[in-house]
Amino acid sequence: MLVELQLNDRPQSSVLDAAQHVADEAGPKPKAVLSAMDRGLRRRLGSGTWDAVVGTLHQRGIVAPDGGKARPRTRVVDIAAREAIVTRLRHAAATDDAVDPRTAALLSMTGPAQLLELVAPDRSARRHARGRIDHALDDTSLEPIGTAVRRVIADAAAAVAAGSTAAAVVATS
C-alpha cells in the first residue's frame, strides 16, 4: 500500500484512499505510517490492513476463501494473474534490466517473505536473484519504504522466535 501511495498512477480504490488518509495523519516517515496503518484502516474501513487487501482481491476474483476458522485461508483462483506476476518477478530477478517501480517493490519484498525459491527456482541463479532482491529499491524514492517494511518484518520474525523460545523453555522446565 505504501508503494502505491507514492506512485502517481495508482488505481482508484477505497482501500488506497483510506490508506492515504492514514498516511497523511501519520506523517512522512514510512515506519510511522506502517505503525498507524492497521489501526487507521480499522477506524476508517472497519477492517485491518490484511483483511482490506484480501477483501479487495476477493472482490476482483483473484482469491477466494478456503476455510480456516482462527485465521481464514485464501486460495488463488485467477491462476493467470498469479503466473503473470511470478513470470515478471523471475525476469526481474534473473536479469539486470531496469524494472518498473511496482515490480521493484514487489521483488524487494520477496526476500523478507522467503520467496527466493519461487523467484529463482534454478539453484544456480539464486545468488544473482538475492542481489537483485536486496538492492531492487536502492537509489529510488521507494527505498525508505523498503527499509521500513523489512525492519517491521524482521522485528515480527524476531518476536515470533523469542515467543517460541520462551514457550520451549517453559515446556521443558
Query: Taking the model in full, what pTM does it have?
Result: 0.79
Is pLDDT above 70 for 64?
A: yes
> Phi-psi bin for 139: left (phi > 0), alpha (psi -120 to 50), beta?
left
pLDDT at 169: 66
Helix (H) or strand (E) holding 146: helix 143-172
Question: Distance between CA atoms of 151 and 155, rounded to whole angstroms?
Answer: 6
Q: Delimit the domains of the chain by residue range.
A: 79-163
Mean pLDDT of 106-110: 93
Question: Distance between CA atoms of 93 and 11, rounded to whole angstroms?
Answer: 25
Question: Distance between CA atoms of 83 and 62, rounded to whole angstroms?
Answer: 12
Question: Distance between CA atoms of 19 and 44, rounded to whole angstroms?
Answer: 9
Long-range contacts of 79-83 (CB under 8 A, 24+ apart): none
Q: Nearest 5°: phi and psi at 134? A: -65, -25
Is pLDDT above 70 for 171?
A: no
pLDDT at 39: 87
pLDDT at 172: 65
How confident is the model over 8-31, as pLDDT tens digits? 888 888 889 999 999 999 888 888
How confident is the model over 110-149, as pLDDT tens digits? 988 889 999 999 999 999 999 999 999 999 999 998 888 8
pLDDT at 134: 93
